[in-house]
Amino acid sequence: MDLVKRRVVVTGLGLVTPIGNSVEATWAGLMAGRSGVDYIKKFDASDFPVRIAAEVKDFDPLDYVEKKEARKMGSFIHYAIAASDEALRDSGLRITPEIAERVGTYISSGIGDFWAIEREHSKLLKEGPGRVSPFFIPSAIVNLAAGQVSIRTGAKGPNSATATACSAGAHAIGDSFKIIQRGDADVMICGGAESAITPMSVAGFAAMRALSTRNDDPPRASRPFDAERDGFVIGEGAGIMILEELEFARRRGARIYAEIAGYGMTADAYHITQPDETASGAVRVMQMAMRDAGVRPEQVGYINAHGTSTPYNDRLETLAIKKAFGEHAYRLAVSSTKSMTGHLLGAAGGIEAVFSVLAIARKMIPPTINYTTPDPDCDLDYVPNEPREAQIECALSNSFGFGGTNAALLFRRYEEE
């Protein structure tokens, strides 16, 4: 006998991004088409082939964490705490002892804290093992963003994280949706956090030729779907949302942004970094999310694309959308907010899920900026350069990662049954 699926809704949002350290600041940046890409300031990149990134700006962890505690955490944890604090405030949820065991945390990261790894490794080589910090491991490992948020809030339900590269934040939200849907929690604090703009990380991605080398024009370097795209721009930050079981949210009078209704996850089983040339994994993950939600392709009005600004991804994601949606693909609005935020790796799925929910709630679609030269292989409506008003019934958020790991989240406008 099939179990009745519990409905799950979004009640709180939190962001730290390269274009703003809150939901409102970030959304204003998206609507203004503002790029968060600039020259790297976190370290001297003058000898690097890539000297640009989308860094978080004017962020002080001491606004959120006491100094003694902040020193025990990597920057990705600082970002996760800040975004989680905002999301909880936005939701109006108080985690009391009565509900603590039904509230979980699931915050993922692709890398964790690369800064701690590089810093402590340097100490080891220069000063010996006795100089390595006792807080090195808990400041760096991926699951400590969820762990620290759990400790700070008293959330005693499921506590988890994934490290599925650029799909990690989306997997965290999708898995949280399923945790609530099957009854293992009533509330999940979920999303992604990343802080990987470091010498080793930038050098590694540059060696793969994955990054844009448009060093002479940082704000225009990230240009998804444009014929002159030459790679992604690495970014950092966090995107967190509060998911609640519908009846739980109703009982406490919560404001509901949207409903999360579908989730898909697939593998390309093809290559360590390149997507499958047939785009089969991306096709199937979108179809799976729609099937899970009981939604027809023509009900989807907006896709927040993975849209990395790399030649392979953008061409093959376009192909996947056309295969998954047929003729409706040409009636869809498809935009890549990475044109403004850069690519936040494991946090990308978190912030882009927030953007997708806001597109539904505020009836505005963020643009793809820096779109100037059409690519014949990318022939959909990418909402070029200007935001657009739209009534959206359903929005899909795509995230694809190295190793061929794919995730898709489907959100729909909340309506009473």
Q: How many helices (H) and strands (E) does the chain have?
A: 13, 14
Active site residue 166: yes
How far from 417 is each of 213, 221, 254, 414, CA to CA, in Å?
51, 45, 17, 9
Torsion, CA 411, CA 249, CA 191, CA 381, rounded to 10: 20
The three-state secondary structure class of 69 is helix
Distance from C-alpha of 249 to C-alpha of 239, rounded to nearest angstrom: 21
Torsion, CA 275, CA 49, CA 223, CA 31, rounded to 10: 120
Buried b (16+ CB within 10 A) or exposed e, 377-400: ebebebbbeebbeeebebbbbbbb
Q: How many degrees, rounded to 5, is the angle at CA 338 between CA 335 and CA 343?
A: 145
Residue 76: name the closest of 61, 96, 93, 58 by CA.
Answer: 61
Q: Which helix (H) or strand (E) holds 242?
A: strand 237-245
Q: Within its chain, how far is the Cα of 46 from the centroid?
A: 29
The three-state secondary structure class of 64 is coil
- Expressed in angstroms, the distance from the first to the final Cα of the chain is 22
How far from 78 is each of 73, 113, 149, 351, CA to CA, in Å?
7, 11, 10, 16
* Catalytic, out of 166, 190, 378, 394: 166
Distance from C-alpha of 90 to C-alpha of 400, rounded to nearest angstrom: 29
How far from 140 is each of 74, 97, 106, 135, 397, CA to CA, in Å?
6, 29, 16, 9, 28
Distance from C-alpha of 375 to C-alpha of 381, rounded to nearest angstrom: 12
CB 279 within 8 A of CB 319: yes
Distance from C-alpha of 241 to C-alpha of 80, rounded to nearest angstrom: 11
The token duo for 324 is: 């998954």
Supply the residues annotated as catalytic.
166
